[in-house]
Amino acid sequence: MMLSKEFKMVKEKSANFIIFGGSGDLAHRKLYPSLFRLYKAGYLKDHFAVIGTARRPWSDDYFRETIVASLKEYFTDDEKIMSEFAKHFFYQSHDVNDSAHYIALKNLAAKLNDQFEAENNRVYYMAIAPKFFGVVAEHINSEGLKTKDGYNRLVIEKPFGRDLDSACELNGNIAKAFPEDDIYRIDHYLGKEMIQDIPNIRANNPKFEEALNNKYVSNIQVTLAESLGVEDRGGYYETSGVLRDMIQNHIMQIVGAIASDDPAAKRAKDIHKNKTDLFASLKNLTPEQVDTNFVRGQYDIDESGTEKAYRQEDNVAEDSEIETYTAGKIEFDTERWDGVPFYVRSGKRMPNKASRIDIVFNDKVAELGINANTVVTLLIERTNNQSILINGVNYAESAQDFIKFPEEAEFTTGREAYASLIIDILSGNRVHFTLWDELRSTWKYIDSIRERWDSQKADFPNYMSGTMGPDASEMLLERDGNSWIWD
């Protein structure tokens, strides 16, 4: 594996991870492979230990076997390296509601801290159902798991609530146990290389940045499209839908990266303030505006009848009103963006997987020497340096040269989102995590859409699998004289 510059520069860190839900899917598919990446890069070496905890009564040896087995799915390294890595892992059977188990966990953590000289640094990772986030945080505090000399950082997976009220309640419970500065709320899109590079790209391309406002931008489009359906996650999806699962968090954060003021800001505090201010300026929607500005859809069978409709999926109600597709027009009440529609969409069973930002300039942009109506596309899943397109052509081959990757942002392999976020957690860098103030604004906005939809019967299913979503999604833009760039 080639290592990115970041990985080469970092020094070994000391920490003890306690992973709640250590036997689960997220831990095995994302966390352990990411920790292994950091181990191979030398970022984690001798001074780290990982306690996996969950109810099932596994032994340390069995736990380690499951880790090596999951690593083999992603890496071709010698098994010896994987086994060496796995020696840092320990298992503690634990029910999150049982106070006595936290004492056992505390004792094990203290022992491992001494054994691995982890400098009393603790990372508590919630890879567990959201309903347990509050109870775990409270017990970590009340049962005295927190160390005095090192740091104690709490990592929370999504979803952070299911509406503003539940997010407030959850945040209240967590805040009783951890100060906001020690809370790391994961939105894994913020760990993606392209999203992290956007401030760099903006700050290093003055003409592009000069054009990023309502004088020169016609509209901005954010698309997160998946070709798969809900697969085996029907049960979860029935409690969520794409509005909560993708728009409230990932799409909003991507919009935040492209639309926040002052991309050159370096301090986490300033970057978060810019994003918080942006989200606070979201133009609220009346119920009637929800009807005109947002579209919901649910997939049907495909043309040949081989793919199931959403309502036929396992653990999905036959008359489910859960949306698998959403498109919408978001607007901000700021001097910079007033009048510029941000069209966003995300859906399942679309023709292809796509994650992209399309910035559509108007004709006035010619004043800046940029061709009228130019479209700049940022591909979020970077695979190489082809990830900025100008009118569909790689920026390096385009006749226009107002935008390119700054040198320090050149594409590097090995920077996987979760690994990158874990480095940030170990370094105490909260830039790529979401703050409570941001979530409060985005939930408030999403709630207004949800409330309107919940009060009206949906005409589902309304798009065929393998298509671009319901027709209303095209009309949403046509009404404004615009059209989707990725079509």
Ligand X SMILES: NC(=O)c1ccc[n+]([C@@H]2O[C@H](COP(=O)([O-])OP(=O)(O)OC[C@H]3O[C@@H](n4cnc5c(N)ncnc54)[C@H](OP(=O)(O)O)[C@@H]3O)[C@@H](O)[C@H]2O)c1
- Does the protein bind ligand X through residue 452 (CB under 6 A)? no
Q: Would you call 391 exposed, middle or buried from its count of C-beta atoms within 10 A (0-12, 13-18, 19+)? A: middle
Kind plus residue range of the DSSP H or E element containing 164: helix 164-177
Whole-number Å distance between alpha carbons of 471 and 320 = 20
- Does the protein bind ligand X through residue 161 (CB under 6 A)? no
Interaction residues for ligand X, span 141-160 (CB under 6 A): 157-159
Interaction residues for ligand X, span 67-96 (CB under 6 A): 94-96
Residue 150 CB, nearest approach to ligand X (Å): 25
- Does the protein bind ligand X through residue 127 (CB under 6 A)? yes
Question: Was 245 annotated as part of a binding site?
Answer: yes
Number of residues that bind ligand X (CB under 6 A): 19
Give the CA distances from residue 449 to residues 16, 71, 94, 241, 249, in Å, rounded to whole numbers and listed in that order: 42, 41, 39, 12, 15
Question: Was 188 annotated as part of a binding site?
Answer: yes
- Does the protein bind ligand X through residue 128 (CB under 6 A)? yes
Question: Cβ(159)–Cβ(434) under 8 Å?
Answer: no
- Catalytic residue, chosen from 94, 139, 250, 432, is 250
Identify the bridge partners of residue 222 per DSSP, sorted by sequence position. 344, 357
Give the CA distances from residue 407 to residues 3, 197, 256, in Å, rounded to whole numbers and listed in that order: 17, 11, 23
Q: Where are the alpha helices (DSSP H) in 23-163?
A: 25-26, 32-40, 60-72, 79-86, 99-116, 133-142
The separation between the first and the last C-alpha atoms of the chain, rounded to the nearest angstrom, is: 35
Out of 15, 26, 123, 183, point to the residue binding ligand X (CB under 6 A): 26
Which range in 22-30, 142-150, 283-291, 364-372 contacts ligand X by CB under 6 A? 22-30
- Does the protein bind ligand X through residue 266 (CB under 6 A)? no
Question: Was 353 annotated as part of a binding site?
Answer: yes
Kind plus residue range of the DSSP H or E element containing 436: helix 436-454
Question: Was 314 annotated as part of a binding site?
Answer: no
Amino acid at the residue 398 = S
Nearer to ligand X, 18 or 49 (CB): 18
Question: Cβ(83)–Cβ(106) under 8 Å?
Answer: no
- Does the protein bind ligand X through residue 54 (CB under 6 A)? yes
Which range in 19-27, 290-298, 354-362, 462-470 contacts ligand X by CB under 6 A? 19-27
With CB atoms as reference, the residue minimizing the distance to ligand X is: 24
250 is catalytic: yes
Question: Was 55 annotated as part of a binding site?
Answer: yes
Residue 402: which of 435, 367, 434 has the closest Cα? 367
Nearer to ligand X, 92 or 221 (CB): 92
Residues interacting with ligand X, by CB under 6 A? 21-26, 54-56, 94-96, 127-130, 157-159
Binding site for NADP(+): which residues?
A: 55, 95-96, 158
Binding site: which residues?
A: 55, 95-96, 158, 188, 192, 226, 245, 348, 353
Binding site for substrate: which residues?
A: 188, 192, 226, 245, 348, 353
Active-site positions read 250
